[in-house]
C-alpha cells in the first residue's frame, strides 16, 4: 500500500525501523524457535517428574529390588519388573535379529539392483506397510502366525532344541517367538525405508571408486556403499528398536501374557507395554497402579540407556573415519 | 538392435579428418597402449559421442580438452567400462588394450589395469591406510600384513604423499586437505599397479598449489604408466600432456601432438577454442 511512498524516503523508513525489523521476523522467529525447542525439554522433564511422583508408593515399597524381582502377583500385592523387562528385551532383540538383515538386504535391492519401475512400486508398498495400524498386524498374527508357530514352526524348532535349548518345549502358538516375529514384520518397513534413503544418498563416486579399483559389483556395494550409508542404516535400526520396545497392541495379542521368565522362546511371556495395557484400567489398589507406573519408568530408562548406547556406538564408529 | 554386436555402427556423417597422432608424418616411437576406434556412445536415445577414434601411446600423457558437456569425460569412462554401470548407457565401437578387445577382458581385471581418478576427491570413509590398501586386498595383490604395508607405503611414495601422512596412516582420510585427498585417490589407484591411469578433471576442485603438485606428480608417473587426462583447463593440457585431443559436441575435432594443437591447429574450431574465441 505504502510501497511506492517509501521508495527514496529514508527518514520515514528509519522511524519505523524497529517495527519493520520486528516484522522482518528475526527476533520473532528466534523466539518461536526457542519456544519450540524449550517445549521438548519441558515435555521430557514433565514426563519424568510425573512418572517419578506417581510411582512413589511402589518405589518406597520395593526400592531398586523392583527391577530384579520376578514376582508379579497383584492378589498377593507382590510386584516385580524382571519378567516384563525380559519379555520386552527378548521380543525386541528377536524382532531386530529378523528384520535388520532382511530389511537392509531389501534396501540394497531397492536402491542398487532393482529397475527404477520395480523400485518405485516396491517402495510405495513398503511405505504403505509402515502405515498399517498395529492392531491389524495383531489380528493377522492371531489368524495366521499363531497357528503356524503352533503347528509347524514350533514342532520343527523343537527337533533342533538339543543344539539350541532356547527352542525347547511345547509350542502354544502364542509366546515370545510369535511376538518377536510380528514385531519383525512391523519394524521391517522402517528398516527398509530409512536404509534405502541412506543408500540412495551415497554419492556415485564412492561406488565408482571401488569399481575402478577392480572390485566386483557386490564388493563395491558391501565395501563402499554400505559403509558410507552406515549412519543412516544404524538410525533405521534404532528407530525400529524404539518401535519394538514400545509396541503394545500387536504384542499383547500374541505374546501369551504370562509374567514368567521362560528359557524357551516358544513359551508365553509378557512385555512392559502389554502389562500396562492389560492391567492399568483394572488395577487393584494404589500399589498395583503405582507399580505399573514404575514399570513405565523402567521402560523409559531402557529406552534412554539404549539410545545413549546408540550414540556411543555411532561416535565410536565415526571416529575411525566417516563420511559424516 | 539389429546390428550384430561386433559390427561398428558408424555415423552416416563423414568423419572429419582425424589425424591419428601424426606430426608431419612422424608417428610416436612408443607402441600404442590403448586404441579406441569408432566409438559411438548413447545415454538412452541421446547420442553423446560420435565416431571417436584415438590412439593412446604407452608412457605418454594424452590430454582431452573441450567445453563442458562435450563428451570428453564420457569418452574416458568407456575406457575402463565404468559407463556400463549407468542404466541405459550403450557404447559401440572397439577399444583395444594392448591389442586385446576390452570387452573380452574380465571387467574387474580390466579396471585393475586401467585405473581411474575422479573429478572430486572421493576417498572411502576409512583410514588413509585402508583407502590405499583396499585395491590391494580386493584384488589379492599382496598377502599378509607386511606385504600390504609395503604396498601401501610404496603407493603413497609414488603419489608424493608419504612424507605428509606417514605419521597418521590410521587417521580418517577425510582429515586430509582436498589436494591431499586427491593425491590419496591417486595413490589408491596406483596401488593396484595399473598400466593406464585415467584422470577425469583431477584438479578441478583444487587450488593452484595443489594443482601444481598433482601436475608434478603426473610427470614422475609417466615412466610407470600411460595417462589420459581430461581437463577443461587448456594451460594444464599444454603443461602436462604429450598429445591433445579436442572434443566438441561429442565429436573429436582434432587430435595431435600437444605442441601442434596449441601452435598450429588444423581445424577452425580448435583454434577458436584455444584462443578463447569459442562461443
**Choice among A7-11, A91-95, B62-66, B183-187 with the minimum mean pLDDT:** A7-11
Per CB-CB distance under 8 Å, the chain B contacts of A228 are 124-125
Per the structure block, which three cell numbers stand in for A30?
528466534
- Grid cell 501374557 is found at A257
Question: What ipTM does this complex have?
Answer: 0.84
Q: What is the 3-state secondary structure (H, E, C) of B21-32?
A: CCECCECCCCCE
pLDDT bin (cut points 50, 70, 90) of residue A22 is low
User: Mutate which of B80, B124, B205 to test chain A, going by most A C-beta atoms within 10 A?
Assistant: B124
CA neighbor of B222 nearest in space, from B200, B199, B204: B199
pLDDT in tens, chain B (279 residues): 344 443 333 333 333 434 444 444 456 778 889 999 999 999 988 999 999 999 999 999 999 999 888 899 999 999 999 998 888 899 999 999 998 999 999 999 999 999 999 999 999 999 999 999 999 999 988 888 899 999 999 999 988 899 999 899 999 999 999 889 999 999 999 999 999 999 999 988 888 888 888 899 898 898 889 999 999 888 899 999 999 999 999 999 999 999 999 988 898 888 888 888 764
The pTM is what? Answer: 0.79
Distances (CA, A) of B212 to A100, A217, A248, B219, B236: 48, 35, 64, 11, 9
Q: Cα–Cα–Cα angle for A210, A212, A214, nearest 5°?
A: 80
Domain B15-123+193-274, CATH: 3.40.50.300
Residues facing residue B96 across a β-bridge: B35, B101
**Residue in B80, B122, B175 nearest the CB of A209:** B122
Interface A–B counts its CB contacts (< 8 A) at: 87
Within 10 Å of residue A166's Cβ, how many Cβ atoms? 16
Please provide the average confidence, as pLDDT, over all residues in chain A.
Answer: 87
* Cα atoms found within 13 Å of the Cα of residue A39, Cβ hemisphere only: 6
> Long-range pairs for A276-279 at CB < 8 Å and ≥24 separation?
A276/A248, A277/A248, A277/A249, A277/A252, A278/A252, A279/A74
Closest by Cβ to B125, choosing from A208, A214, A227? A227
Q: What is the pLDDT of residues B111-158, one digit of tens each?
A: 999 999 999 999 999 999 999 999 999 998 888 889 999 999 999 998
**Residue A88 above 90 pLDDT?**
yes
Q: Report which of B245, B265, B273, B259 is spatially closest to residue B52, judged by C-alpha positions.
A: B245
Task: Give the pLDDT of residue A24.
Answer: 67
Closest partner residue to B80 (CB to CB) among A212, A217, A320 is: A212
Average confidence (pLDDT) over A142-163: 88
Alpha helices for chain A (secondary structure H): 3-6, 10-15, 17-24, 26-54, 56-62, 65-68, 82-108, 116-130, 134-140, 146-148, 154-159, 176-200, 204-212, 217-220, 226-228, 230-246, 249-254, 272-279, 286-319
Helices (H), chain B: 72-79, 107-113, 128-138, 145-158, 162-165, 178-190, 208-221, 234-240, 258-263, 268-274
Q: Where are the domains of chain B?
A: 15-123+193-274
Do A205 and B122 make contact, defined as CB atoms within 8 angstroms? yes
Q: Which residues of A touch B85 (CB under 8 A)?
A: 207-208, 211, 217
Q: Is B124 close to A211, i.e. CB distance below 8 A?
A: no
pLDDT at position B278 is 63
| Cβ neighbours of A231 in B, within 8 Å | none
The DSSP annotation for B125-150 comes to: SSBHHHHHHHHHHHTT---SHHHHHH
Phi and psi (nearest 5°) for B241?
-100, 160
Asked whether the beta carbons of residue A228 and residue B127 sit closer than 8 angstroms, the reply is no
Residues A150 and A175: beta-carbon distance below 8 Å: no
- Distance, in Å, from the CA atom of A185 to the CA atom of A138, rounded to the nearest integer, reads 11
> In this complex, is the C-beta atom of B112 within 8 Å of any C-beta atom belonging to chain A?
yes
Instruction: Tell me if chain A has a CB within 8 Å of the CB of B87.
Output: yes
CB A231, CB A314: distance < 8 Å: yes
| Tens digits of residue pLDDT in A159-199 | 888 888 888 878 888 999 999 999 999 999 999 999 999 99
Amino acid at each position: 500500500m505504502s510501497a511506492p511512498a517509501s521508495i527514496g524516503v529514508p527518514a520515514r523508513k528509519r522511524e519505523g525501523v524497529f517495527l519493520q525489523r520486528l516484522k522482518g521476523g528475526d527476533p520473532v522467529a528466534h523466539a518461536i524457535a526457542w519456544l519450540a525447542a524449550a517445549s521438548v525439554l519441558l515435555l521430557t522433564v514433565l514426563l519424568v517428574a510425573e512418572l517419578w511422583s506417581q510411582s512413589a508408593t511402589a518405589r518406597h515399597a520395593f526400592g531398586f529390588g523392583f527391577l530384579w524381582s520376578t514376582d508379579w502377583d497383584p492378589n498377593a500385592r507382590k510386584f516385580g519388573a524382571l519378567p516384563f523387562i525380559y519379555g520386552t528385551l527378548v521380543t525386541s532383540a528377536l524382532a531386530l535379529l529378523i528384520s535388520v538383515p532382511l530389511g537392509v538386504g531389501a534396501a540394497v535391492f531397492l536402491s542398487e539392483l532393482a529397475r527404477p519401475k520395480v523400485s518405485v512400486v516396491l517402495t510405495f508398498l513398503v511405505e504403505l506397510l509402515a502405515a498399517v495400524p498395529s492392531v491389524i498386524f495383531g489380528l493377522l498374527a492371531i489368524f495366521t502366525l499363531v497357528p503356524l508357530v503352533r503347528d509347524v514352526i514350533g514342532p520343527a524348532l523343537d527337533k533342533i532344541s538339543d543344539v539350541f535349548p532356547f527352542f525347547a518345549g511345547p509350542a502354544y502358538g502364542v509366546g515370545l517367538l510369535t511376538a518377536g516375529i510380528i514385531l519383525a514384520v512391523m519394524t521391517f518397513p522402517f528398516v527398509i525405508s530409512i536404509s534405502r534413503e541412506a543408500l540412495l544418498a551415497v554419492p556415485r563416486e564412492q561406488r565408482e571408486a571401488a569399481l575402478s579399483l577392480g572390485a566386483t559389483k557386490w564388493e563395491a556395494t558391501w565395501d563402499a556403499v554400505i559403509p558410507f550409508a552406515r549412519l543412516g542404516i544404524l538410525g533405521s535400526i534404532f528407530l525400529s528398536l524404539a518401535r519394538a520396545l514400545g509396541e503394545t497392541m500387536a504384542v499383547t495379542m500374541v505374546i501369551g501374557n504370562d509374567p514368567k521368565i521362560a528359557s524357551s522362546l516358544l513359551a508365553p511371556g509378557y512385555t512392559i507395554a502389554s502389562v500396562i495395557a492389560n492391567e492399568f484400567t483394572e488395577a487393584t489398589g494404589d500399589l498395583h497402579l503405582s507399580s505399573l507406573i514404575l514399570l513405565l519408568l523402567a521402560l523409559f530408562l531402557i529406552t534412554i540407556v539404549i539410545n545413549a548406547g546408540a550414540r556411543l556406538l555411532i561416535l565410536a564408529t565415526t571416529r575411525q573415519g566417516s563420511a559424516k | 538392435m539389429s546390428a550384430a554386436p561386433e559390427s561398428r555402427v558408424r555415423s552416416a556423417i563423414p568423419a572429419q579428418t582425424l589425424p591419428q597422432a601424426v606430426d608431419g608424418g612422424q608417428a610416436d616411437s612408443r607402441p600404442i597402449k590403448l586404441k579406441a576406434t569408432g566409438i559411438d556412445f548413447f545415454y538412452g536415445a541421446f547420442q553423446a559421442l560420435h565416431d571417436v577414434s584415438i590412439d593412446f601411446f604407452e608412457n605418454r600423457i594424452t590430454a582431452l580438452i573441450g567445453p563442458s558437456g562435450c563428451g570428453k569425460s564420457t569418452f574416458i569412462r568407456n575406457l575402463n567400462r565404468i559407463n556400463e554401470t549407468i542404466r541405459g548407457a550403450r557404447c559401440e565401437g572397439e577399444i583395444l588394450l594392448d591389442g586385446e578387445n576390452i570387452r573380452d577382458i574380465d571387467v574387474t581385471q580390466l579396471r585393475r589395469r586401467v585405473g581411474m581418478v575422479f573429478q572430486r576427491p572421493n576417498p572411502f570413509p576409512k583410514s588413509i591406510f585402508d583407502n590405499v590398501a583396499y585395491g590391494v586386498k580386493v584384488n589379492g595383490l599382496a598377502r599378509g600384513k607386511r606385504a600390504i604395508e609395503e604396498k601401501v607405503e610404496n603407493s603413497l611414495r609414488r603419489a608424493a604423499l608419504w612424507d605428509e601422512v606417514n605419521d597418521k596412516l590410521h587417521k580418517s582420510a577425510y582429515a586430509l586437505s582436498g589436494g591431499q585427498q586427491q593425491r590419496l585417490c591417486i595413490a589408491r589407484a596406483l596401488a593396484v599397479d595399473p598400466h593406464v591411469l585415467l584422470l577425469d578433471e583431477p584438479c578441478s576442485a583444487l587450488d593452484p598449489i595443489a594443482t601444481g603438485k598433482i601436475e608434478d606428480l603426473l610427470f614422475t608417473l609417466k615412466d610407470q604408466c600411460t595417462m589420459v587426462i581430461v581437463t577443461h583447463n587448456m594451460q594444464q593440457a599444454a603443461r602436462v600432456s604429450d598429445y591433445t585431443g579436442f572434443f566438441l559436441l561429442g565429436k573429436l575435432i582434432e587430435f595431435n601432438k600437444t605442441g601442434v594443437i596449441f601452435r598450429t591447429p588444423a581445424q577452425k574450431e580448435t583454434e577458436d577454442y584455444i584462443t578463447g574465441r569459442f562461443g
